[in-house]
Structure 1
Amino acid sequence: MNIFLGSLPKHINKDQLVQLISDVGEVGSFELLTDKLNNIWRTFAIVDVLNNHQEVIDKLDAKLIDNNVLTVHIARWRTKDRRSAKRGGGRRIYDSPPNHLEEN
């Protein structure tokens, strides 16, 4: 099961984080997420925990590491377009002008 780990210290490395999790559960895959623009680590990760995932969450959620309070929960994936289909919108500057403004 994929677990989200947020508010990680910037200096922590993959080996330290895997060690922290492997005290309770077995780590499968691991992904440190980076900023798309400058490839800098964004202080959160997605970890595939193979067993004892609830124990990992219970042990690490709200744990203090180097003045950072960890946020740990089951990963929830977002869709690409997070906007609601019900949202309306105003006329954008690249839209066609209203009919009453068109020249004849």
Structure 2
Amino acid sequence: MNIYVSNLSFDVHDEDLKSFFAPFGEVTSAKVITDRATGRSKGFGFVEMADEAASKKAITELDGTTVDNRTISVSVAKPKEERSSRGNNRGGFNSGKSYNENRY
């Protein structure tokens, strides 16, 4: 099961995140999301656990707990929504429509 963890301290790293969940069962991956430009944590991450029952127990017991003086939120991760491309013709600055097209 994929788990979403938010409101993480900027000092929390992948291994720290993994260690928070390890007492509940096997953690197959733990990733703190970072800014591409700066490498700094964005304050959230994802944990994947092999066992669904262990995942649910971890979510229940860790949600609302305090880690590094911050109250974290833990929930089931939702699938990433499909993003449309920039050239989607919905209008806006990059719509491809000429400014003068509707003037005359």
* TM bracket (short chain): 0.7 to 0.9
Would you say 1:4 and 2:4 are equivalent positions?
yes
Q: Which residue of structure 1 aligns with residue 14 of structure 2?
A: 14
1:53-90: CA deviation from partner (whole Å, max 9, x where unpaired): 100100110101222110101111222427xxxxx757
Would you say 1:58 and 2:45 are equivalent positions?
no
Where in structure 2 are the equivalents of 1:15-94 lying within 5 Å?
A: 15-51=15-51, 52-81=54-83
> What root-mean-square deviation, in Å, do the aligned CA atoms of Structure 1 and Structure 2 show?
2.4
Q: Distance in 2 between matches of 1:16 and 1:94?
A: 46
Q: Distance in 2 between matches of 1:18 and 1:44?
A: 13
TM normalised by structure 1 equals: 0.74
Higher relative helix content:
2
Could you tell me which amino acid in structure 2 is paired with residue 44 of structure 1?
F
Rg comparison, structure with higher value: 1
Q: Distance in 1 between matches of 2:18 and 2:94?
A: 48
The structure-2 alpha-carbon separation of the partners of 1:94 and 1:8, relative to structure 1 and needing over 3 Å to count, comes to: same
Could you tell me which amino acid in structure 2 is paired with residue 14 of structure 1?
D
**Unaligned residue ranges in structure 2 (runs of 5+):** 85-89
1:13 to partner: Cα distance:
2.8
TM normalised by structure 2 equals: 0.74
**Unaligned residue ranges in structure 1 (runs of 5+):** 83-87
SS of the residue 2:24 aligns to: coil
Aligned sequence identity (%): 24
